[in-house]
Each structure stands twice: as structure tokens, then as C-alpha cells.
Amino acid sequence: MELDGKVAAVTGGTRGVGAGIARALLRAGARVLVCARRPPEEPLPGVEFVPLDVRDAEAVGQWCAGLPRLDVLVNNAGGAPHRMLTEAGADRHARVVELNLLAPLTVSLAAHDHLRRARGSIVMIGSVSGSRPSPGTAAYGAAKAGLESLARSMAVEWAPDIRVNTLVVGMVRTERSHLHYGDRDGIAAVSRTVPLGRLAEPSDVGAAAVFLASPAAAYISGASLHVHGGGERPSFLDAANAGHRSDADKESRHERNL
């Protein structure tokens, strides 16, 4: 098993993508700790839960100091409400940046000594929002862009003892998908925009996290691995094709009328 005997921690690992990562690490043989502000609604068998707010530097430091060892850190905790920029003050947007950018730095710094001794690995959970416009979640997109940059710098500063990589995640089907994509028909419609024809499952992200944390990725650091099913089909192609079909239909009707 790729991570047999290793200790792995997943922030925000109680549901959705985080829970998928925790399960994958467990299947790979690791002892898995997950932390979040609230316990999971459904316990994850074999996974240990620790109540923790990753924005609280003192609490994070105490938690890391109490660990006997740590080999893998997955900075997954994050997210943001849908909010246009003018619908909130700068302080609200700053909280989004704090959770999605500063908190991963806080946890990584607290875990540094453990990871250095173990010659361990950090996996940042980024987002495609960090590399494209994200109306309604602009601060989140900016934070995720910063997270990738942070990971690349950490990979250089902390080499050769600690590898640091980012998973750039696209749309994922979780228990909260309906809040973003609507009902079953809405999710199906969104899925058709993905080249692979479906949304990711949390297990897809988990498998990628295991790879980056494992010896199979021993020479990979400072990298961004896209887990997005091929990305998004450029909308101008559909618009151009629609225009072409419209012209072809007009020409066909004209010929029938001759």
C-alpha cells in the first residue's frame, strides 16, 4: 500500500472532497486525522476527528505540537458563499482570503518540523477558479490563485525535505452539489459541459491526492495537477457552431424554395 504506516492529516476532511481524500488516504494504508470546526454528520470509519478552526494559529500550533509524527498534510479546508463584490464590504471578502489562503499557510508552518523530519509531503487543494474569472466568488478565486503561487514558493524553500504540490480541482459532485448546480437535471446539464461528460467524484480527487503524497510522485514538487475532466469547452465554439448551423439552415430553406 502506497502510504502504509504514514500519518496523514486532512483539513476540512469531514465531508465532500475532504472526506473523499480522507477515505482514499485510509485505503492507501495511512493513519488519517481530519480536522474541522464541527464533527462529521456521518462518522468516517477508521478516521480520527479533531475539532479545530484552521484560522486560529494558536490552536493549530497546539494541535500540531501534540502529534507524534506527520507525513502528509492535505490543506483542503476552504470555500466561499456566492457573493458579488459589491454585495459585501472588504472585511467579508478578506475572511474568504483568510480561510482559503492564509489558513493553509498557518497549518503548513505549524506542521513544518514534523514534515521535515519525515521528509513528507503537502498537498494543497486548489481550484480552477484560481485561473479563470470567478464572478460571485472573486475573492475565492484570487485566494486559490495565491495558493498555487504559495505552494510553488514553498516547494523551493522547503526542498529537498518537503514536497509541495497543488491539485487544481474542477467541479465535484458532493452532497452539496444542488446548492451550486441545481437539481438532477441541472447537474446533468452542467456535466455535459465537461469533456469527460461528468462531474468529478470526491474519490477522483482522493486518488490524485494519494498519488502526490506517495513515493510514486517522489520527484514531483511545485507542480499543479489539474483534476477537472478536461476543463471547460470554450463557449465561443458553441456560439460559432450555432451561427454556422443557422446559416446552413437558411441556405437549405433557400434551396428548397428554388
pLDDT tens over the chain, length 258 residues: 699 999 999 999 999 999 999 999 999 999 999 999 999 988 899 999 999 999 999 999 999 999 999 999 999 999 999 999 999 999 999 999 999 999 999 999 999 999 999 999 999 999 999 999 999 999 999 999 999 999 999 999 999 999 999 999 999 988 767 666 778 888 888 888 899 999 999 999 999 999 999 999 999 999 999 999 999 877 787 777 766 665 556 555 555 555
147 within a domain of the structure (yes/no): yes
Handedness of CA 94, 97, 102, 103 (dihedral sign): positive
Domain span including residue 172: 7-257
E strand or H helix that includes residue 196:
none
42 within a domain of the structure (yes/no): yes
**Distance from CA of residue 39 to its chain's centroid?**
20
Count of domains in the chain?
1
**Burial class of residue 118 (count of CB atoms within 10 Å of its CB; 0-12, 13-18, 19+):** middle
Helix then strand then coil, in percent of the chain rounded to 5, is: 50, 15, 35
102 within a domain of the structure (yes/no): yes
Q: Residue 5's CB: how many other CB atoms inside 10 A?
A: 9
2 within a domain of the structure (yes/no): no
191 within a domain of the structure (yes/no): yes
With 0.85 as the threshold, say if the pTM is over it. Answer: yes
140 within a domain of the structure (yes/no): yes
159 within a domain of the structure (yes/no): yes
85 within a domain of the structure (yes/no): yes
Q: In CATH, what number is assigned to the domain containing residue 139?
A: 3.40.50.720
